[in-house]
Structure 1
Amino acid sequence: MTESLKMPGEERREMILKTLRESAKPFTGKELGELANVSRQVIVGDINLLKAVNEPIIATSQGYRYMHPATGPAKIEKTFVCMHPPERTEEELNIFVDHGLTVMDVSVEHPVYGDLKASIMVSNRQEVKDFMQKVLEANAVYLANLSEDGIHLHTVSATTREQLVEAEKALKKAGILLK
């Protein structure tokens, strides 16, 4: 990247907003940096500035997404309380997505920091597979491992109550849902 071709800050943030608003796919900081001819770190700073003025941008395991106001069928949200060993994470996420749910986030109660929440945003098996691969490549720890007992919560969204009911049955059968 050459210094003279760097996009000025305000123009760059407008480009980021336009790119995210107009795309159904997420963009990584690296991809946005390449578009603006700046580093990923500059993009991270820009995203934080945009969030500070209440732009609805979320960071997911796939990259940054702009959260458009709901269009189409109304989404129903529910929180599930789960507990399982780390090696069952992929199974858990697949149960959710196989029932047509989007796993929006995971949260835990940490003994020091209180409530911790992370965006996941997976809706199908490929996104689950990609998420699991990123965790592996980063040698990351699952948020559930940060709680004292492995209990964690997932906020999910569905288009029908039946999807939630069937997912709950499958999680109970798998021994993942906390009773």
Structure 2
Amino acid sequence: MSGETRRKQIVQLLSQSEKPIPGVTLAEKFQVSRQVIVQDIALIRANGVDIFSTNRGYLVHQQTQQVSRVFKVMHEDEDVEDELSTIVDYGGQVKDVFVYHKVYGVVRAELNIKSRIDIVNYLKEIRSGKSSLLKNVTSGYHYHTILAETETLLDLIQEKLQEKGYLAKLQDYEPVDFWSKAE
């Protein structure tokens, strides 16, 4: 069996298991040394699979499935904390911020804001630097990709942002219908 085939089977076994699988067990199953399994795990991780090492063995981190929606918003600088807090308080994660610039096209920055602590740290970073918020290159208009566990939570976030007056109307020149729930 090739190393690549063995690593695929290791990922499959770990993904299907609800409890950790010891390295010794994997070594016996594939008739290789435990050191080969350790090296395989390192290569699997390098290829992006999230594997935990525990005192009882290896386990693939099972991420919960999330849905996403893009919201176009507009507000003043002093409303950033309230906007982001509204999103996280109702179960959302702010994946990114981006603007659609008529000359430069889409300019995007990853945020990965999941909590109020993340918001505090983000705002502290913005205030300590010489840069301004990305929204300011387009007169306040910007977009966020929001992740949540259900479409219902995204609907609730959309409703709350609308109530606060943060949602903005799409213009004819914008290339995509960001309101669409289907991707």
Q: TM-score range by the shorter chain?
A: 0.5 to 0.7
1:71 is displaced (CA, Å) by 3.1
Backbone CA RMSD of aligned residues: 2.1
Match in the other structure for 1:132? 123
Paired AA for residue 123 in structure 2: M
Give runs of aligned pairs for residues 56-75 of structure 1, distance below 5 A. 71-75=62-66
CA distance in 2, matches of 1:93, 1:175: 14
1:101 is displaced (CA, Å) by 0.8
Question: Percent identity of the aligned residues?
Answer: 29
Q: Determine helix, strand or coil for the equivalent of 2:65.
A: coil
CA distance in 2, matches of 1:70, 1:104: 20
Matched, 1:145 2:136: yes
Q: Determine helix, strand or coil for the equivalent of 1:81.
A: strand
Paired AA for residue 75 in structure 1: Q
Give runs of aligned pairs for residues 91-110 of structure 1, distance below 5 A. 91-110=82-101
CA distance in 2, matches of 1:102, 1:156: 6
TM-score, reference length from structure 2: 0.57
- Aligned match for 2:160, one of 162, 167, 170: 170
CA distance in 1, matches of 2:168, 2:149: 24
Paired AA for residue 86 in structure 1: D
Paired AA for residue 91 in structure 1: D
Count residues with an aligned counterpart. Answer: 113
- Aligned match for 2:78, one of 82, 87, 91: 87
Deviations 1:42-81 (A, max 9, x none): xxxxxxxxxxxxx77xxxxxxxxxxxx9833211011001
Matched, 1:76 2:67: yes
> Structure 1 pair 80/70, CA: closer, same or farther in 2 (3 Å)?
farther
Structure 2 gap ranges (5+): 1-46, 49-59, 170-183
TM-score, reference length from structure 1: 0.58
Deviations 1:149-171 (A, max 9, x none): 32111001100111111111110
After TM superposition, the runs of 4+ consecutive aligned structure 1 residues lying more than 2 A away are 69-73
